Structure 1
Amino acid sequence: MISAQAWADARRVWDYHQMGHTARPCSVAIGLGSHDLGVADTAVRLYERGMAPLLVFTGSNSPTTRERMPRGEAVHYRERAIELGVPGSAVLVEPRARNTGENIRFSRALLEESGIDVSSVLLISKPYEERRSYATARKLWPEVEFVSASTPMTFDGYLDSIGDARLVIDMLVGALQRLLIYPDQGFMIRQAVPDDVMAAYERLRDGGFTSRIVPVGAATHS
């Protein structure tokens, strides 16, 4: 059973992970690889709205995507975008990245090698990864302006799409823990965490929602 307090805390943490940015035209859109093809769908919708003339999909594989996306996350994202009508010439693939830091660094290198001038990036991630992705990108590519985006979705809608409430709450807790510890490891910029969000995080963590927690002292960016 998940208590009423835990539900309320999870919603508070979910809301914090949303950056609340308004999409606007950028030099390029970068879709971060994951198990969620919705990232590709959202990238296509933004492309169709004229928010970016070029899409970059980045990501190799993880244990959770190897079977579902055997050709790699970025390749499957590109195939999805083309299936939805985006011309192949408007899609670049970065197929090696295995974590958020590599997503940003390798995408930046690909764009530089391709001779594409970038002053702003529409950064597309899973809904609960918006803030973490933004903080990482700002650290690794500080001279570029980032606008965060994800599939518009409520907390309840995301729960329904995943079908495992405890796993979703674990992911929310894990993402927030990384926002707290990774700045000290040089992986991302530090962002203020409101007291009520911090209290909600601590109650969830102490309540056992810890399967996505990074061991204290671990210097891995995943």
Structure 2
Amino acid sequence: MISVQTWSDAQRLWDFQQMNHEPRPCSVGIGLGSHDLGVADATVNLYQRGMFPLIVFTGATSRTTRDRMPKGEAEHYRERALELGVPASAILVEPEARNTGENINFARELLTGRGIDVSSVMLVSKPYEERRAYATARKVWPEVEIVSASAPMTLAEYVDSLKDLRLVLDMLVGAQQRLLIYPEQGFMIRQDVPDSVAAAYEHLCSEGFTSRLMPTE
């Protein structure tokens, strides 16, 4: 159980992370690896709607996924896409990336190595990491148009799908911290953070939702 205030703070971070981009046709869709197989489902849905002709799934494993996705996040995403009817010829796999910057850089290198021309990218992520993915891509791949996308879910629906409220809140706080500290480290572009979002982040930290925070010293 959490307080009404804690839920309100989580909702504020959730809303801020979503970019609310209108999906439009792009050169390629990149499904960013994570613990959430729903990212693969969202990528397939967009592919089947004609938003892109080619998918790149990118991701190795992490402490969160090494047990549930032992073959690597990208490979498990690929298997899910095949189950959902995507032809193997429409999927590329990048199995080495271990963070968002590597996801994007390594996917770009893979596409370049295949001689695939890219002018626009649809980044498909977890719903609470749209803004982080967008800010990272704008920094490391500024020459292409970036569209952020995710499964159209409310915070309550997402928590219910994972059955793990603490994990979701910890991840929300971690994603927000990276928006605050990564621009100074050159990993993403800087974005304005409303005072209300900053206050929500600080309150959630004080409530102990800190397991996904990066060390700052």
Which amino acid in the other structure matches residue 23 of structure 1? P
Residue of structure 1 in register with 2:2 after alignment: 2
Deviates most, 183-192 or 194-203: 194-203
Residue of structure 1 in register with 2:156 after alignment: 156
Which amino acid in the other structure matches residue 34 of structure 1? S
Query: What SS is found at the alignment partner of 1:79?
Result: helix
Query: What SS is found at the alignment partner of 1:24?
Result: coil
- Give the deviation of 1:141 after TM superposition: 0.2
Deviates most, 66-75 or 102-111: 66-75
Aligned pairs for 1:1-222 within 5 A: 1-217=1-217
Identical-residue share of aligned pairs (%): 72
Cα deviation digits, residues 164-219 of structure 1 (max 9, x gap): 222211211111011000000001000111111111111111222211111113xx
Query: What SS is found at the alignment partner of 1:129?
Result: helix
Cα deviation digits, residues 114-173 of structure 1 (max 9, x gap): 000000000000111111111111100000111000111100011111222222112111
Residue of structure 2 in register with 1:220 after alignment: none
Deviates most, 60-69 or 103-112: 60-69
Which amino acid in the other structure matches residue 61 of structure 1? T
Give the alignment's TM-score, normalised by structure 1: 0.95
Distance across 2 between alignment mates of 1:167 and 1:75: 23
Which amino acid in the other structure matches residue 63 of structure 1? R
Distance across 2 between alignment mates of 1:204 and 1:98: 26
- Give the deviation of 1:2 after TM superposition: 1.7
Q: Note the residue ranges of structure 2 that are not aligned, 5 or more in a row.
A: none
Query: What SS is found at the alignment partner of 1:200?
Result: helix
Q: Note the residue ranges of structure 1 that are not aligned, 5 or more in a row.
A: 218-222
Distance across 2 between alignment mates of 1:210 and 1:81: 33
Distance across 1 between alignment mates of 2:25 and 2:58: 20
Which amino acid in the other structure matches residue 146 of structure 2? F
Which amino acid in the other structure matches residue 142 of structure 1? P
Query: What SS is found at the alignment partner of 1:66?
Result: coil
Distance across 1 between alignment mates of 2:182 and 2:161: 28
- Give the deviation of 1:65 after TM superposition: 1.3
RMSD (Å) for aligned C-alpha atoms: 1.0
Deviates most, 154-163 or 176-185: 154-163
